[in-house]
Amino acid sequence: MTELPARRLLLVHAHPDDESINNGATMARYAAEGAHVTLVTCTLGERGEVIPPELRHLTGAALGMHRRGELAAAVRALGVGDARLLGGAGRYGDSGMMGLPDNEDRGCFWQADVDEAAGHLAEVILEVRPQVLVTYDDNGGYGHPDHIQAHRVAMRAVDLAAERGHRIAKVYWNRVPRSVAEAAFERLQDELPALPFDKSASVADVPGVVGDERITTAVEGTAHAAAKAAAMRAHVTQIDVAEPYFALSNDLAQPLFTTEYYELVRGTAESGESDLFAGLGLEETS
């Protein structure tokens, strides 16, 4: 096996597009700096709502395959060469929104055995041996069942991998500081008349917003804003981008953040961190 770079980052997401919205600038930055960036996506998003009218015929498995292609284009735009589907393509299906009958489908990710799914992820961890893992908080950022399950699986896989000989030094959850979100939405209100969106979302619609005091790490990705926007545009069924804003299928405008924020939940954070690998004594490039 080819020797991997000194710095190795693993991100665990629920559906295609989550990686670009939440961590696109981070992924592009670390890939450009020579780190090995691995993305594991847990479902193909087969139950997502489709924005373009000409693509609304896509549903179920056909939509999943289309979104797999969008995911491949997105990670290329970010410069990431290691993108995987948990347990292989189609292993776990999209669970739909919380409280819908879709949640009861025995093949959906929400119904998956956590230890079994975490076992698949642990195999990736043991192969890549990342020092850093990024995923959602225990509410999945906003309560989506697949996001909650991705959190559970990721955190369990960290423990399983440690039992088998590889301890991940730092585990982060995706976050947005409330002050940053509020300021961005204030700017959005001023700029909304010039945008192709009729209405604005709200701070409550942004996953992972917390009080500023919980933020341990801010990854500056402004230099990679174009890569993040390109990756988001690749998810054409799900995202409409008008930089520096975007909308999902609800057509509500929200900010496209190029500085991305995190809360360290395992490991030791340095004061005012700006690097997910801070304190690990690793070279920046390899």
Binding residues: 15, 18, 147
Binding residues for Zn(2+): 15, 18, 147
Contacting residues for 218 by C-beta, under 8 A, at least 6 apart: 259, 260, 261, 262, 273, 274
Q: What is the CA radius of gyration of the chain?
A: 18
Residue 76: Cβ-neighbour burial (10 angstroms; 0-12, 13-18, 19+)? middle
What is the distance between the alpha carbons of residues 154 and 250, in angstroms, rounded to a whole number?
A: 29
The Cα 44–Cα 16 span in angstroms is 6
**SS3 category, 169:** coil
Token pair for residue 13?
Answer: 């997401």
